[in-house]
Structure formats: C-alpha cells, structure tokens
Chains A and B, each alone.
Chain A
Amino acid sequence: MNRIKQRFEVLKQQGRKALIPYIVLGDPAADVTLPVMHALVEQGADILELGVPFSDPTAEGPVIQKAHERALAHGSSLRDALTLVKQFRETNAATPVILMGYANPIERLGYQHFIELALDAGIDGVLTVDLPPEEAGEFNQQLGEAGIENIFLLAPTSSDKRQKMVAEMAGGFIYYVSLKGVTGAGNLDVVSVKQHVDHIRTLTDLPVCVGFGIKDGASARAVADLSDGVVVGSVLVSKMAELAACGEASPRAFSQAVSSLVAEMRDALDN
C-alpha cells in the first residue's frame, strides 16, 4: 500500500492530525536538506513535502521564491531531488515523501522516465503546481499505473464543477489552499476554511489538508480541528533564510532551527 494512504489510516486510528512540513531541496545548500528531513521526522512530521526548485515559481510568494533562487544558485535539480530521496530511504522506509514543483523540469525528463526514477527513489506522491486536471490527463494515468499519488490543489475560488473534477482525479489527499494569492501571504479565515473543507468532504473520501497561512502552533491547531492535517511551508523556509543570511553553513544549525518550530506545531496538534 502507498505510504501516504497508510499514514492517514494510522493517524485516523489514533485520532491525530497530519503535520506536513515543506522545505525546498538544496536550500540553502546541498548538504542541508537530508539532515533537515530527518530532523523534521524526529519532531513528528507525518509526511514530508520537498519543493523542487524552478526558475519561474509563479505560485510562490517572496519567501519561497528566494528559497528556489538559493537552491538554483548552486544548480539543484529534479534529478538531485530524486537522488536525495533515495538516500533518505536508506534510513527511513516509513515516512511518505511528496515532491512539489512545476511541470517543466518533469517534462524535460519525460513523464515515463521521471516516474521510473521516482519509483526507484521511493517517492510516494507528486504535486505539480501548474498541471491542473485539464492538462494532467496523461501524466495522471501514468502515475496511477505506477502507484504514485497525484495530489491536487483546491482554492477558495474553485467552482463546484472543478472541485468535483479534482476530487475524481486526485490521489493521496486534497491540498486545500486557504487563501487567495501566493504562498506565505495573508491571514487565515477559519470560518471560510471550515465551509470549504466541509464541502470538499462531501465530494471525496480522501483526507483534506490545508496549507497557506499557517504560521505557528495556534494557527496549525485551528486549521487541523477542521481538517485532516496541515501543510507548513513559508514559516520554516523563512527561518532557514534567516540563518542563511547570517552566514550559517552547518546543516546541524538548520536542523535545530526547524526542529523547534515543528515540535511546537506537533505539540499544538496533539494536545
């Protein structure tokens, strides 16, 4: 069984909510990502979302854009992401890993070739930001055949028709984007999130996780109460950016910095 599905089943049995941290591969340096991934798991991350750097990340706010730029400055690529996850799997066979990125690096490898490498690396899901259901048909089918979950976004502005279309095609979980705008923006409207999540639940049995705008333990808890889990990105990435700006280079320092943030959120979700 796919690790994502498995994890959500366990969480459900335990009555707990999924904590899904997001970091960008190779941000700020190649040797930082692997130790940070392990640290995130130690602090209670359920699923890891690994951002694949792209030269034109149009859906990202400034914090994550800069992370992509830092990673690209030393040539981080989709191939590196696949290699890294393979290394991660040497010592962690249980934690699901999702690659989140843009279509062009995948198209450059070719769908089939990418999927072969992803299976070999132990990737459980992909979220391709700029491949909505209308354009995802072929890729979606090939991912399905390989047993890799194709994760889709839903937005506050998604029409009813689109929510149904996404629900039909999606695997793993539904990623509900809680805000209009780019990553890292604005403040959370809990009432609106509840309405939307409740509606999505009528369309699918998949877990619904919420991302965009979750900054600390309190906001994580507020959103988790309404959904099956939270995705946390910009707050972690901006912590790493602070360290990088101070000239910090030790992977250990980055691991410690994100650990305290993730531990706080885990605690808020569980207690």
Chain B
Amino acid sequence: MNKKASIDFNQMPDAHGHFGPYGGRFVSETLIYALDELESIYRSLKDDPEFQAQFDYDLAHYVGRPSPLYFAERWTRETGGAKLFLKREDLNHTGAHKINNTIGQALLAKHTGKQRVIAETGAGQHGVATATVAARLGLECHVFMGEEDIQRQSLNVYRMKLLGATVVPVTSGSRTLKDAMNEALRDWVTNVDDTFYIIGTCAGPHPYPELVRNFQSVIGREARQQSLAQTGKLPDALVACVGGGSNAIGLFHPFLADESVAMYGVEAGGFGLGTGKHAAPLNDGIPGVLHGNRTYLMEDENGQIIETHSISAGLDYPGVGPEHAWLKDIGRVKYVAIDDDEAMDAFRHLTRIEGIMPALESSHAIAYAEKLARQMDPDQTIVVNLSGRGDKDILTVAEIDGITL
C-alpha cells in the first residue's frame, strides 16, 4: 500500500500501454499498423488546444455537460449514514456516460478523414452513442452486436437503425459482447484503410484503455469541482459499477492521488459469486490475455474464456479494463460484487424514493453505495456514478415482473 504514495497516476500507462503487468498490445501483427496509426493521431491531438476546445464545446452543447451532482436527500435519510450524491451521467444526451467517449473518438476519426466507423456493443448504449455521433458527422456506421444481445435489447437496436447505423448480428462464439468485439476487430483489420474503430470501454489493445479513460475523466473532474463547491470538501468515497469499467475509471481517475478518497468498483455478481455464473473477473477471475490486453478474466482451466452472466447486458463481459486490474493489485480501489437480486432491489428503490430510474448497470453501484453509507458517518459523503438511465431496461424489468408490454 505504501507504493501508492509515490505513483504518478497521470504517467500511467507506460510507453507501451502497460499498467504494471496489465494492458499492453496483445494483437496479431496485422493489427499493429492500425494501432500505431491511432496512437500517433491521438498523441498529436491530445494536447492540441483546438482539439480540446472542440471536445469541450461538444460536451457542453451537444451532450449537455456538466452533468449535475445531485444530493439524494430522501435516499440518504432513508438509508441512514453518509450523504449520498449522484453524478447524473444519465442526463447526458443518449442517456449514459458512453457519449463522452464516442464524441472524443469521433473527433479523432474525423481528423483521420476516414468515412466509416465501427463499434461493438452489448446493451446497445455504446452502439447508440456511436450511431449518434456518426449521424452528426455524416459517417457510415456499422455496429457489431451479439445475436443474443439483439434479442435482449431490441429497443436500442431500433434506435441505432433510426440513427442510420447498420446493426450487424454476431453469431460466433457465445453471441454476446465479447464476440461482438472479436468481430469488430476482424472488420477493422480487413478495412483499416477507411475504417475507424470506436471501442466503447477502457479495455482492448493500447492505446484504447488510455484514450477512453482520458475522454471519460471529464466525469471525475466535474465531480471533484462540484463536491468542493457543494460540500466544501472532497468526497470520502466514490462508487461506480464496473463491466469493462469506463464510467468507473472516468470517475476515479481524477481522484486517484487524493488518498483520503476511498474507491469502490462494483462488479456484476450475477446469481452470486459462489455460483460461477457472474461477470466479476476482479473478484473471482485470474489474469490472462484477451482482446489485446492482459487483465483479469473469467476463464476455464484450459484458458478458454467462459460465458458470463449478469442481469445487465452492459456488465456481461468476461474481462475488465487493465487499469482496474492494476488498481486492484496495488490496493488503490476495492472491487466488490452485487448480485442480480440486489441490483433489481436497488433499481426499484431508487425509482420509488428519488424518482430516478437507474440503468441496471448503475443499479449495482446504487446497491453497494447503500450498504457502504450505513457503515459511514452522516458528515461523510459518497459520490455514486449514475452512469445511465433505466429506460432501456424497462422490458427486462417487466419480464421479471411477468408482464408483457
């Protein structure tokens, strides 16, 4: 734990994209060129004031940032304990944090002059956010989505189509998010000359984990300022759900050097950690190599990636961003799990007492924050990332209730 004090979190990853033993660029030779090209474009624009100004402008006027930091007074009172604040990423255009990253990557794409963007999607939120920016910039957009997820998220599939995107069903492997990512990588390597791959989370080969984190860090920067302005101090704890982990790293990163701020990443416990049917590699997986990076994975004894389970499609992924793997090992962030039932309870509870319907992904963070708050004092504060709104999940919830809409 003492190591932490001397770490400059802004200097991570290293030049080859490593966060300690994690991250890196584990891809076929055929993909290296595309990644080198992306890295060099990103390096040239990252600190370019004009690029940054365009990004900020789009976030303010198109996305609607800053998103509010909302003191959930009734939720706090009924929970008892620390004050609970919600970082309202659900109020962003398209209803989740995903758009912060797609705005950033679309600006990179525009700079390359490539006319076609591709994306992978699980729940469909990243697909919608990509289709949205593609529509705005007049780019051709192909979204790869597992056949299984297309069934589960029909509403988002139709949204993407309305936005002009082509949704490509993925029928290989387990037909979910991980296979959609495989297919997007295959498309990219084949069409690299005219195609930009917009990855939706802080995983994948270097430089994706770094650039997605940097685009999403606007969440944490705002939350930091808003906490100081509203409470006169930094929060005592941060809570965010972790699938690939982009909303969590976006909230956490600007606070990593603030030792007084405790951080909790909440993975999908599915049917329970003991059952093996979950999506919690940081809690119950081991390090391995998938999708271009070394990180914690859900795999069998032969090193094959196994199918995961979560009630929330957006957390249903067998890996996790490599920076989270590293933050776990150095002890800076604690990773916990919330199961399907606890997440459902939190979904219903927040909806009824605050009039805010959280995405099932974010409901995992809500459920854990409630447990945490009870163990803390009333003068302490917790910021929970409400990463997306729950409208997209209404069909899933209705089905659980035995209702056909």
Contact = CB atoms under 8 A, between A and B. Distances in A.
B32 A135 contact: no
A159 interface: yes
Interface in A93-115: 102-109
Interface string B285-316: 00111111000010101111110000000000
B217 to A, nearest CB: 26
Contacts of B303: 54, 78, 104-109
A104 B186 contact: no
B29 A177 contact: yes
A35 interface: no
A180 B28 CA distance: 11
B116 to A, nearest CB: 15
Interface residues of A, number: 45
Nearest to B174: A55
A230 to B, nearest CB: 18
Interface string A222-251: 000000000000000000000000000000
Contact of A69 (B32, B172, B186, B193): B172
Interface string B36-71: 100000000000000000000000000000000000
Given A61-B186, A104-B303, A129 B28 contact: yes
A181 B33 contact: no
Interface in B5-35: 16, 24-30, 32-34
Contacts of B27: 58, 130, 132
A205 interface: no
A70 to B, nearest CB: 12
Interface string A115-141: 000000000000001111011000000
B178 interface: yes
Contact of B182 (A56, A134, A154, A177): A56
A180 B30 contact: yes
B192 A180 contact: yes
B32 A56 contact: no
B238 to A, nearest CB: 32
Contact of B302 (A65, A78, A130, A132): A78
B288 A65 contact: no
A79 B172 CA distance: 24
B192 A56 contact: no
Interface of A: 54-62, 65-66, 69, 72, 75, 77-79, 102-109, 129-132, 134-135, 152-155, 157-159, 162, 166, 177, 180-182, 185
17 contacts: A54-B303, A56-B291, A57-B182, A58-B186, A59-B30, A77-B302, A77-B304, A105-B303, A107-B287, A108-B301, A130-B26, A132-B25, A132-B28, A155-B29, A180-B190, A181-B189, A181-B190
